[in-house]
Amino acid sequence: MSGTSADGVDAAAADVGDERPRPRVRLIAHTHRDYPAPLRGAILAAGEGETLTAADIARLRVRIGEEHADAALACANQASLALEDVAAVATHGQTVAHLPDERPRATLQLVDAARIAEALRVAVVTDFRSADIAAGGEGAPLVPFADWILFTDGKRSRAILNVGGIANVTVLPANAGRDDVVAFDTGPGNMVIDAVTARVTERRQTYDDGGALAAQGTVDVSLVERALAHEYFARTPPKSTGREMFGADFAADVMDSGRGLAPEDLVATATALSARSIADALRRFVATPIDEVIVAGGGARNPTLLRMLGEALGAVPLRSSDELGVPAQAREALAFAILGAFAIRGEPNTLPRCTGARRAVIAGAVYRP
């Protein structure tokens, strides 16, 4: 799995049982491989709408496939798994376009899955979003299906918050069934923070490591309020978004509006925007009282963001997904392992209430060696 931050590939090896409706899942191993800087730059350029030729896209697809194959092999080795014992590799690919607001809707994730299948001699499941879009959905969010399997509690209602480039939330009432799950993208997670950090440090840093810059700054509350006036934040779920809406142009607008602020104040303000937009979304769109928020994704390693989020949420406790046996960095890779396991068995693996589709579909196309 590689998300909108495009920092690299997270891989997880998992054993997904046959029990239904919610199988037992055992995480065996997980690992992360950073993208080489030139590849990350090319991915971000593609995602920001930079003009690419068909040849550029073809080359990028191959390089992403190679990186994903290497990550899958490294994870199998870490788990001491022989490849002949692996039922399938599930790869989301790298999103370079996600257009839920256009008609017809469209999405594009780049990865050469055939190359992975040939390199590993293992079936590969990929292209998870297209079937849901064909059924009238937004193709996102998909991870809530796995969240429902992994995190549903018999007594407590939970919000599972993933803070990647984009932040998304899955709300699981106590003892939730498939049709009880509510999920949507809340808006920017790390995306604006990363862009502002890169600009104020003249690219010496591509992210705010440990939230250190933001911790030194003062939030410009009026600038946060202006940014929160963006129409996406008021839009009713189901909804999804990406770099097209909250990428470089949005970050530049925030910085232009904050001209004259110190660098650390700009990063603090971008961090507060993420925290406020998440908390506001939970208050505005979630009817179920939340007993606890479970945090995963790269943002779980940003103490300043977590502090601001805790302040914005008030009395609702924050916990890391690590406490529940799902390492924050592994959560989305593990989720796509679960989606892939259902797909390879020919079983529906989407939640139409969350994506807006007409029905649940089998998300994922299979490439065999």
Residues 6 or more apart whose Cβ sits within 8 Å of residue 104:
none
For 268-284, the pLDDT digits (tens) are: 999 999 999 999 999 99
Tell whether the model's pLDDT for residue 140 goes beyond 90. Answer: yes
pLDDT range class, residue 301, cuts 50, 70, 90: very high
Q: pTM of the prediction? A: 0.93
Please indicate, yes or no, whether residues 18 and 49 belong to a single structural domain of this protein: yes
Mean pLDDT computed over every residue of the chain: 96
Same domain? For 40 and 179 the reply is: no
Q: Residue 327's pLDDT is what?
A: 95
On whether both 59 and 79 belong to a single domain, the answer is yes
Mean pLDDT of 208-237: 98
Say how many domains are in the chain. Answer: 2
Please tell me the predicted confidence (pLDDT) of residue 6. 87
For 151-191, how does the pLDDT look when each residue is reduced to its tens digit (9 = 90+)? Answer: 999 999 999 999 999 999 999 999 999 999 999 999 999 99
According to the model, what pLDDT value does residue 4 have?
79
Residues 320 and 209 both lie in one domain: yes
Q: Which of 198, 167, 140, 168 is nearest to 274 (CA)?
A: 167
pLDDT digits (tens, 9 = 90+) for 314-340: 999 999 999 999 999 999 999 999 999
Q: Tell me, what CATH number does 345's domain have? A: 3.30.420.40
Shared domain check, 290 and 167? yes
For residues 307 and 160, membership in a common domain is answered with yes
Do residue 63 and residue 177 come from a single domain?
Answer: no
Instruction: Give the β-pairing of 166-172 and 158-163.
Output: antiparallel
Same domain, 314 and 333: no
Which residues is 188 bridged to in the sheet?
166
Contact 131, 151 (CB under 8 A): no
CA dist., res. 35 & res. 289, Å (int): 40
Same domain, yes or no, for 314 and 220? yes
Characterise 52 by phi-psi region: left (phi > 0), alpha (psi -120 to 50), beta (else): beta
Specify if 2 maps to a domain: no
Residue ranges making up the domain that contains 193: 144-324
Same domain, 164 and 302: yes
Strands (E), 24-121: 25-34, 89-90, 94-99, 106-110
pLDDT tens figures, 88-127: 999 999 999 999 999 999 999 999 999 999 999 999 999 9
Closest CA to 190 of 263, 267, 258: 267
pLDDT at residue 48, rounded to an integer = 84
253 & 344 share domain: no
